A and B are shown apart, each in its own frame.
Chain A
């Protein structure tokens, strides 16, 4: 048990816990933040994806010791009040979801992807999202949404 300090969606937090515990369950069970989902527990599916210092990580396999002193952003931290982020807005407009369970991870993954490559091709989007699984198979709409988000973030230029 150790106090671990980090920033969660812009707010300083300290949690005293076993530093080997993974971030996913600290978020869900200690902080009650259930937007980040459990899908496979083994980094295959991407449902638990969050940003740590701007990079996408699988929270189900990220021990708390790796989070100490870092900035964590979850799906709950993307919107500014009622204003959705451009990626979130595009996922709503293009219906980049069906059941919605993988959506938190998809939205976070897309956010990281566009931060690294603001104008990806559709192939680069597919490549960048390859490790995110969607069983409803909304892939087409998700790619559409990410492409639209990129356009939106570039000020609407195609």
Chain B
């Protein structure tokens, strides 16, 4: 992608700003119109989640820039990063809409701590939902300033001017006109967006709501797009780090003599960090194999079988996460009380790009880190702290990120690269092996959910007693019409409280919600079956929430759902959920091989209400990705481990969804212009566990209560029924 002018500012490889230095940035922003604005996440959607992030909060004044240059081009400078979710297209769309410029005139610089203002990170489906409206307002402010300037220049009242494609002209006399570039150029105007401006009405949108082609396609299909591991400063060395065989094992002896004899190898030690360095990654691999080590055994006795009993035993911290009425009183009115226990194992993020980082020390002593990270600014603090530097002595640059899903919120690899570059005196590249990725991942936590629900004679849910251990509360909100309910959480994905888990856990696409929605929607299905009712009708009977009813009814229509109590042998299932402000209903059709227990998903239909839609194609792709990715944690993905050791450390043992799994996928996004844009990257994944488990029940009459639904578990459940 080339630009007519200022080609230094956004080079080929969108969002990749390696060649911009601070001078270019100052040149860019020394003249022109700059609007700075604040992005504050709404109450309740944001809380500091990992330790290093708590040290740095969103500054109160401003944290995003929008610049209009002398060439009329608009540049957004945002601390968000692009990891495949498509905001590299959606955010410029929003700005283009309000500024009345063609989308091609908007550039986007992302995730560089020198160039972009502070941002807490790219997670939680917040980019369009939270940054979007404020960006919209800032763009409208910029347009208002430009219209005012044009009014003064042309001697025409602002009300008599119109804007089209970055040109402001008099409505009555089209020859009286000025371009954004002419108005913004040669002067320095800085505005702080505070007040209110008239926003374009949703109905008048011309860019937002239309599918715009993604802006990173050509770079990605030609191999030109750069990821952190592709950055190779002169004289850079690859580092491979000596690792323990198990979590909890400690190093007792190390002998690097044989490795040191290899040509071109350097051994670098920094405290507990021991690494072999070589200009070629594969030769560093070879040298690492020559390092002889002994470790103490891990004290952990946990494994993927006994973990659930352990979680129930050790979980002490208890949080009330939602309550209404009186559960015991409600239960007294129940005709039957139905108890369920739902479990799921640890799930890996397994992005195709392993954690990668390159670090180099500049002549001025500043450290630059190129990192695959979802959180460049918290990472800057983290690196600075590790090196005992002030944060402004560290620059984090985020090239394209090769998948994150929450797993790149932690930045251990970047700290390793930074420590090693200081110790080695050369730029250092750290690209975790796949085995390191599986070992050091911050897994989606293993979870146990206990539910006790009361059903009255009229088939209403009258009590709901809910306990989630491990996952945390996201996705647990009771939106069914249950007068008496109580939900408590013990532990959370956001921290390994009380050493509940034998390794690190962290946010995984819709963190917590996959476990909670799986458990709740499975149990709702159990209740429907107990009531002898069609699962859709049972949900509607117990659901007043109008938005949820609407998505469920839309999904049923698209699916062609017909009423029948499960198990109907048809192999169809339903599940509802909400995440990131978006409501979702899914339906699926499965075939179960009675001999093996293998589940084949034939069709998935998903309807969602996500408020104002910015990029329909982009949002649809996120839904499709959620559905297909969700088949993984539903059918096969589970981290097997024993005594601190991760057993499956590559894709041979840990199985991701494959092409042959691809079901017929149909998606529908409901028209919802009265609601601001909600999250799109995560919601459609949360229903996948339950929709498939419920379809398996409908096909076989067997209720599987543990994810993933492996053939062995399905077969065992079928034998038990």
From A84, A98, A129, B625 is in contact (CB under 8 Å) with: A98
From B86, B223, B431, A35 is in contact (CB under 8 Å) with: B223
In the assembled complex, the CB of A77 is this many whole angstroms from the nearest CB of chain B, namely 9
Whether A103 contacts B221 by the Cβ 8 Å rule is yes
In the assembled complex, the CB of A134 is this many whole angstroms from the nearest CB of chain B, namely 7
In the complex, the chain A residue whose C-beta lies closest to that of B651 is A44
Distance of A139 Cα from B224 Cα, bound (Å): 22
In the assembled complex, the CB of B628 is this many whole angstroms from the nearest CB of chain A, namely 3
Chain A residues near B626 (CB, 8 Å)?
A: 137
Whether A138 contacts B621 by the Cβ 8 Å rule is yes
User: Does A66 sit within 8 A of B, measured CB to CB?
Assistant: no
User: Does B485 sit within 8 A of A, measured CB to CB?
Assistant: no
Could you mark each residue 650-670 of chain B with 1 if its beta carbon is under 8 Å from any beta carbon of chain A, else 0?
A: 111000111111100100000
Q: A25-B281, A100-B220 are in contact. Are A133 and B624 (CB under 8 A)?
A: no
Whether A139 contacts B280 by the Cβ 8 Å rule is no
Could you mark each residue 61-105 of chain A with 1 if its beta carbon is under 8 Å from any beta carbon of chain B, else 0?
A: 000000000000011101100001000100110010111111110
Q: A25-B281, A38-B229, A98-B86 are in contact. Are A132 and B659 (CB under 8 A)?
A: yes
Q: A21-B283, A39-B434, A40-B434 are in contact. Are A78 and B222 (CB under 8 A)?
A: yes
Distance of A73 Cα from B638 Cα, bound (Å): 36
Whether B223 contacts A133 by the Cβ 8 Å rule is no
Chain A residues near B230 (CB, 8 Å)?
A: 28, 34
Distance of A130 Cα from B85 Cα, bound (Å): 23
User: Does A47 sit within 8 A of B, measured CB to CB?
Assistant: yes
In the complex, the chain A residue whose C-beta lies closest to that of B625 is A137
From B281, B404, B405, B658, A133 is in contact (CB under 8 Å) with: B658
In the complex, the chain B residue whose C-beta lies closest to that of A47 is B352
User: Does A148 sit within 8 A of B, measured CB to CB?
Assistant: no
In the complex, the chain A residue whose C-beta lies closest to that of B351 is A135
Could you mark each residue 114-158 of chain A with 1 if its beta carbon is under 8 Å from any beta carbon of chain B, else 0?
A: 000000000001110110111111111111000000000000000
User: Does A58 sit within 8 A of B, measured CB to CB?
Assistant: no
Could you mark each residue 27-43 of chain A with 1 if its beta carbon is under 8 Å from any beta carbon of chain B, else 0?
A: 01110111111111110
Chain B residues near A75 (CB, 8 Å)?
A: 221-223
In the assembled complex, the CB of B602 is this many whole angstroms from the nearest CB of chain A, namely 13
Chain B residues near A51 (CB, 8 Å)?
A: none
Sorting the interface of chain B by its residue count into under 10, 10 to 19, 20 to 34 or 35 or more gives 35 or more
Distance of A84 Cα from B354 Cα, bound (Å): 28
Within B633-680, which residues are at the interface with A (CB < 8 Å)? 650-652, 656-662, 665
User: Does B400 sit within 8 A of A, measured CB to CB?
Assistant: yes
Distance of A103 Cα from B222 Cα, bound (Å): 9
In the complex, the chain A residue whose C-beta lies closest to that of B654 is A44
Chain A residues near B350 (CB, 8 Å)?
A: 135
Residue of A24, A99, A141, A143 with highest tally of chain B CB at under 10 A: A99
Q: A29-B280, A45-B651 are in contact. Are A101 and B351 (CB under 8 A)?
A: yes
19 contacts across the A-B interface (CB closer than 8 A): A21-B282, A33-B223, A37-B229, A44-B651, A74-B223, A84-B221, A98-B84, A99-B84, A99-B353, A99-B403, A100-B84, A130-B659, A133-B658, A134-B352, A137-B624, A137-B625, A138-B624, A138-B625, A142-B659
What are the nearest 6 A-B pairs in CB distance? A35-B223, A99-B84, A101-B402, A98-B84, A100-B220, A137-B628
A residues neighboring B (CB under 8 Å): 21-22, 24-25, 28-30, 32-42, 44-45, 47, 74-76, 78-79, 84, 88, 91-92, 95, 97-104, 107, 125-127, 129-130, 132-143
19 extra interchain contacts, Cβ-Cβ under 8 A, other than A39-B353, A107-B221, A133-B656? A25-B283, A38-B354, A39-B354, A41-B434, A44-B652, A92-B217, A98-B84, A98-B403, A100-B84, A100-B400, A101-B227, A127-B659, A127-B660, A133-B352, A135-B403, A136-B625, A138-B621, A139-B661, A140-B665
